[in-house]
Amino acid sequence: MTNENRTFYTELPSGYAEVMLYDVNDKRFQMLTGPVSFFVSVAVAALLFGMRIGFSPDNFTMTWRWTYLWHILTVLALVLVYTSLHELTHGLVYVLLTHRKPVFGFAGTFAYCGVPGVYLKRPVAVLSVLAPFVAYTIIFVALLLTLPVGAMWFVLLIVFMDHFGGCFADLYAFAMMMRQSRDLLVLDSGKEQRFYDRTDFERGK
């Protein structure tokens, strides 16, 4: 007997079959999406740069100062803080919508958050993958459009690029979810996501 919750199942219902395995550590996936996410994040950062500063030769001249080392360390620290907040945001959505304890960790170069052992209904999975992108994009853009342009502004711009590039895997997962039917269930272990959908026979009943 399958135990059903408003937002998930504890067992895979009958009539479902696995339709896709989504693993961000898959080498082929990284080779295909890595360059795309990099160029998209650079393009978005360039748009903000042009809006606030503009493109001219004078704006691209820089003399090295040892104080810039502090800014580089600040970037690294903020990237670590942001990465933690990103995954905690995934987890917060899972806690609020499923009341299950999420798991966190690292798989290769990627941090992850999952809620293993349950088959999430599509709206829950969609909200979880989109939450960090929507929330932090709004925050970063608001800061970058209002804060005075200076060293810390450039620090935030670099962290924003990391945010945008890092969210590409989430946006890809969202696109794959939307290609399936509304009956889609997602088993999210954190390291990978398995998609299950009704078979054509069951869908036609």
The predicted pLDDT at position 35 comes to 75
The predicted pLDDT at position 201 comes to 45
Q: Tens digit of pLDDT for each residue in 33-58?
A: 677 777 888 888 888 877 777 655 55
Report the candidate in 132, 138, 96 with the shortest Cα–Cα distance to residue 111.
Answer: 132
Assign 188 a pLDDT band (cuts: 50, 70, 90).
very high
Please, are residues 79 and 85 in contact by the beta-carbon 8 Å criterion?
no
- Residue 108: Cβ within 10 Å count: 13
Is beta strand 16-22 parallel, antiparallel or unpaired with respect to 103-107? Answer: unpaired
User: Within the chain, where are the H helices?
Assistant: 27-52, 67-98, 122-146, 151-166, 168-179, 200-203
Domain limits, the chain? 8-55+65-203
What is the pTM (predicted TM-score) of this model? 0.83
> How many angstroms separate the CA atoms of 122 and 32, rounded?
25
Q: Is 67 helix (H, G, I), strand (E, B) or coil?
A: helix
Q: Tens digit of pLDDT for each residue in 110-154?
A: 789 999 999 999 999 999 999 999 999 999 999 999 988 888 888
Residue 54 C-alpha from the chain's centroid: 29
